[in-house]
Structure 1
Amino acid sequence: MANVVWHKNFRILLDLTRDDLDHPEFPGLWDLIYATDRFYGRRGVPVSERDLQCGGVCRDLGVEAPMHLRMRGGRREAVHERREDEERHTAPMSDEHKAYQERILRAAHEGGFGGDSEVRTRIGRTWIQTDTLVEGADGRRIGWEVQLSTIDESGLRGVRARAGKAAKNGITPAWHTDRAAYAQRNDAHWTRSDRLPAELIARNGDLRIVSGFRALDFWHCDTSAVYPCPNGIRRCGKAHATAKPRDVFFDDMVRQTAAGTIVPIQFRAGTTVHRYWVTNADGDRLEDLDSDDTRLPPERETTPATGASRNRPTCQPATAPSAEQDPPTPAAPLAARPFLTALPLQPAAPAAETMPPDLEERETSVPQATDTTTGLPTELITLQQAADAAHHKLQQLDDHHERDLQRQAWRQAAEVVQAAVTRYARTKRLNRHEVETRLRQLVRHTAG
């Protein structure tokens, strides 16, 4: 049974707990609808072919659940036709779901924000049911919807409509899950954590969001770019942004979305529009880029997405990627994400490379002198500058023979810097790709 009924023909919601069904402009509405439903019953019209459907939980999930009306002890009741629809209302909330609601409220209160669970917000003649509503700064309202592994993916419908309805009425929807299949959907701003028992979710350890938060890397599409042009051509000369996955603590996510330092965005990649969470600085730069993609948007001051924590982790990082995890994506350049320096990222194994035999016999010690500004060894910077200079000289030549000679010189210089980067990354236990990308951006940005 349910107290809220959707009338398909009238296209209105009926609240059976109110004498006027919450429609005082229609006197005698209950008598009309009840008499019509009884007439259908006497004529043998199936419930599925009548005018009434569940307007509560079933409709929120996008399920069409036929209903009929009856009177019991002078009380109005709407009854589901199918048992599975009725069970959808009576199924108890899982312990994991309750633990997430408690954790969201605790994190919000620790950040100085208010909130409550199972909030029913009245919007005109309808309602918005929110798992946990956080009251943030400057009138900001974050509506957290927790969807765990309690129903099959095919049963999760109506998410886009619910998220749009909430956003239209001043609530920023934030959907959280532990299922990779849900997190990969683009119908709402999803975040995902690993699947954990309730006792681990509820405790004060560091619960990590592994999907849904992104760092935006802004770059210019020229011959020095490390990414392919998203427009499908060699080099278009415009500015672009690349979204890179980054982990963030769940508690920090709750607090910073309420504070407005983490915001939702819609990021277009080809013909697909993704919905991510980013820092407000990255969000502002993306707006600048969308308005004018002929130049890179200016750098903006930002606050860290998360801070260092002394809490023990809620769970240990997985030893091997599972089938439900997000597909691997190349890491963003270090210089492009200064706000994430405090993130406790897991060290990545350096990419294995084969060096020429003559390079392996060269100096194997890591350069000790470092640049005080960037922290990179000065030898790496010098070698990269030499390789770039050789490549620039190659572009200035027109004679075929001279170009062949200069091309060999450029390749030799590039091999030297590649070998030096590999040695440095292995010794320092750093990700080789990130070191190389940061070095190239530093040298080429300084040269520009």
Structure 2
Amino acid sequence: MANVVWHKKLRILLDLTRDDLDHPELPDLWDTVYKTDRFYGRLGVPVSERDLQCGGVCRDMGVEAPMHLRMRGGRREAVHERREDEERHSVPMSDEHKAYQERILRAAHEGGFGGDSEVRTRVGRTWIQTDTLVEGADGRRIGWEVQLSTIDERGLRGVRARAGKAAKNGITPAWHTDRPAYAQRNDTHWTRSDRLPAHVIARNGDLRIVSGFRVLDFWHCDTSALYPCPHGMRRCGKAHATAKPRDVFFDDMVRQTAAGTIVPIQFRAGKAVQRYWVTSADRDRLEDLDSDDTRLPPDRETTPTTGASRNRPTCQPATALSAEQDPTTPAVLLAARPLLTALPLQPAAPAAETASPDLEQRQAPTPQVTDATTGLPTELITLQQAADGAHHRLQQLDDHYEQDLQRQAWRQAAAVVQAAVTHYARTKRLNRYEVEARLRHLVRRTTQ
């Protein structure tokens, strides 16, 4: 049974808990709808061919669930036609889901913002139900929706519609999950944390968001650039932005989205459009870049998205483990350890689009030995082989934890190659893009 019914012909939601069904402008609405439904029943019209459907959980999930009306003990009731539709309403909220709701509200209140859980907002003739609604600064409203591992994949078919309806009515949708498959969707702005039990989520440690937040690296597309031109050209001479993953504390995310210092954007990378959360300063610089891509947008003063905390961490990130202490560390990471430098847990965004010559000299010493066949330094070939080997190992892993470790090893090895290629190209006054393309073609051809 459900308390909210969708009338297909009238295209309105009927709230059976209210005497006027929440439509005071339509007198005697209940008598009209109820008598019509009973008349269809006496004629033998199937429930699926009548005008009533579930307007609650089923409609939110994009499921058309036919219903019929009845009176029991003087109380109005709407009954599902199918048992599986009825069972959809009886699925209990998990302890992890409740812990996230409590944590969102606690983080918001600590930042001076209000909020509540399971909020139903009237929108015209329909409703929007939000897991946790945070009332932010300047009338800003952040609607947090939590989708965890206990949720059926089929229950996410209506995400784009629900997020779009919320955005059109002044609620910024913020969807959070612990499933990588959900976080990779592009139907709304997703964030993801590691899968944790309820008692860990609820405590006051530093819970990290490991996916969904980005920092934008702005750079000029010339021969010294570290990134390939997104337009597929050698070097177009214009300014571009590259989105780089960055961890952020969950509590800081809640407070800063309410304050407006972290905002959602749609970022175009080639032909694809991705949805990320970024700082408001990065968003403003991206807007400047979109208006004029012939020069880099001016720097803006930024407030760190997160800083040091006195709280104990809720979960220990994989990057904090030592390769020697962790028995599950892949062999590629141990082998490449002399070539790799440890990445910080939350590195600061680079101050310029390219590294300084002094830094490059420290990260990538000048190659000394040259391969007689290819003319390229043997050290570049070795570094590229190590990076390709780390990437090949990543593709063969199935375990989520091992993939995170191996992905870190691959990114570190790739960064070493990039720095070495840049330094070599500058030293020899060569086109960096051509050197990189030649190196990759050589190494991958010989390994096939």
TM range (shorter): 0.7 to 0.9
How far does residue 433 in structure 1 lie from its aligned partner after superposition? 5.4
- The residue aligned with 1:179 is 179
- Counterparts of 1:260 and 1:435, CA distance in 2: 36
Change (3 A) 1:379 1:307: closer
Q: Secondary structure at the match of 1:77?
A: strand
Return the letter of the residue paired with 2:300: R
- The residue aligned with 2:361 is 380
- Counterparts of 2:100 and 2:7, CA distance in 1: 34
- The residue aligned with 1:110 is 110
Change (3 A) 1:433 1:301: farther
How many residues are aligned here? 368
- The residue aligned with 1:3 is 3
Change (3 A) 1:139 1:49: same
2:246–2:346 CA contact under 8 A, matched in 1: no
1:209–1:250 CA contact under 8 A, matched in 2: yes
Q: Secondary structure at the match of 1:181?
A: helix
Q: Secondary structure at the match of 1:151?
A: coil
How far does residue 321 in structure 1 lie from its aligned partner after superposition? 9.7
Counterparts in 2 of 1:173-322, with a 5 A limit?
A: 173-318=173-318
- The residue aligned with 1:163 is 163
1:99 aligns with 2:99: yes
1:308–1:342 CA contact under 8 A, matched in 2: no
Change (3 A) 1:345 1:197: farther
- Counterparts of 1:36 and 1:133, CA distance in 2: 38
Change (3 A) 1:226 1:43: same
- Counterparts of 1:343 and 1:125, CA distance in 2: 47
- The residue aligned with 2:152 is 152
How far does residue 111 in structure 1 lie from its aligned partner after superposition? 1.6
- Counterparts of 2:363 and 2:315, CA distance in 1: 43
Counterparts in 2 of 1:286-365, with a 5 A limit?
A: 286-318=286-318, 344=346
- Counterparts of 1:93 and 1:119, CA distance in 2: 15
Return the letter of the residue paired with 2:264: P
- Counterparts of 1:253 and 1:29, CA distance in 2: 45
- The residue aligned with 1:30 is 30
- The residue aligned with 2:72 is 72
How far does residue 281 in structure 1 lie from its aligned partner after superposition? 0.9
- Counterparts of 1:382 and 1:263, CA distance in 2: 34
- Counterparts of 1:272 and 1:380, CA distance in 2: 35
- The residue aligned with 1:351 is none
- Counterparts of 1:432 and 1:242, CA distance in 2: 19
Q: Secondary structure at the match of 1:199?
A: helix
Change (3 A) 1:299 1:125: same
Q: Secondary structure at the match of 1:217?
A: strand
- Counterparts of 1:47 and 1:230, CA distance in 2: 55
- Counterparts of 1:290 and 1:375, CA distance in 2: 27
- The residue aligned with 1:352 is none
TM-score by length of 2: 0.73
- Counterparts of 1:13 and 1:2, CA distance in 2: 12
Cα deviation digits, residues 263-284 of structure 1 (max 9, x gap): 1001122332211101111111
Q: Secondary structure at the match of 2:63?
A: coil
Return the letter of the residue paired with 1:160: R
Cα deviation digits, residues 175-218 of structure 1 (max 9, x gap): 00011111111111110011111011111111111110111111
1:53–1:67 CA contact under 8 A, matched in 2: yes
1:306–1:343 CA contact under 8 A, matched in 2: no
Cα deviation digits, residues 377-432 of structure 1 (max 9, x gap): 57928999x99xxxxxxxxxxxxxxxxxxx98xx77x97xx9xxxxxxxxxx9956
1:308–1:343 CA contact under 8 A, matched in 2: no
Q: Secondary structure at the match of 1:162?
A: helix
Q: Secondary structure at the match of 2:286?
A: helix
After superposing the two structures, state which structure 1 stretch, 230-239 or 152-161, moved more. Answer: 230-239
Q: Percent identity?
A: 81
Cα deviation digits, residues 206-246 of structure 1 (max 9, x gap): 11111101111112222222212222233333222111111
How far does residue 55 in structure 1 lie from its aligned partner after superposition? 0.8
- Counterparts of 2:147 and 2:274, CA distance in 1: 19
1:307–1:342 CA contact under 8 A, matched in 2: no
1:22–1:125 CA contact under 8 A, matched in 2: no
Return the letter of the residue paired with 2:129: Q
After superposing the two structures, state which structure 1 stretch, 124-133 or 47-56, moved more. Answer: 124-133
Q: Mind listing any 5+ residue stretches in structure 1 that lack a counterpart?
A: 323-340, 347-373, 388-406, 419-428
- Counterparts of 1:240 and 1:304, CA distance in 2: 23
1:307–1:343 CA contact under 8 A, matched in 2: no
- Counterparts of 2:329 and 2:18, CA distance in 1: 53
- Counterparts of 1:378 and 1:25, CA distance in 2: 71
Change (3 A) 1:378 1:127: closer
- Counterparts of 2:52 and 2:97, CA distance in 1: 30
- The residue aligned with 1:127 is 127
- Counterparts of 2:345 and 2:185, CA distance in 1: 26
- Counterparts of 1:137 and 1:192, CA distance in 2: 24
1:308–1:344 CA contact under 8 A, matched in 2: no
How far does residue 434 in structure 1 lie from its aligned partner after superposition? 4.9
Q: Mind listing any 5+ residue stretches in structure 2 that lack a counterpart?
A: 319-325, 331-342, 349-354, 368-373, 384-408, 427-448
TM-score by length of 1: 0.73
Q: Secondary structure at the match of 1:302?
A: coil
Return the letter of the residue paired with 1:183: A
Return the letter of the residue paired with 1:128: I
Kindly name which structure, 1 or 2, has the bigger radius of gyration based on alpha carbons.
1
Cα deviation digits, residues 233-260 of structure 1 (max 9, x gap): 3333322211111111111111111111
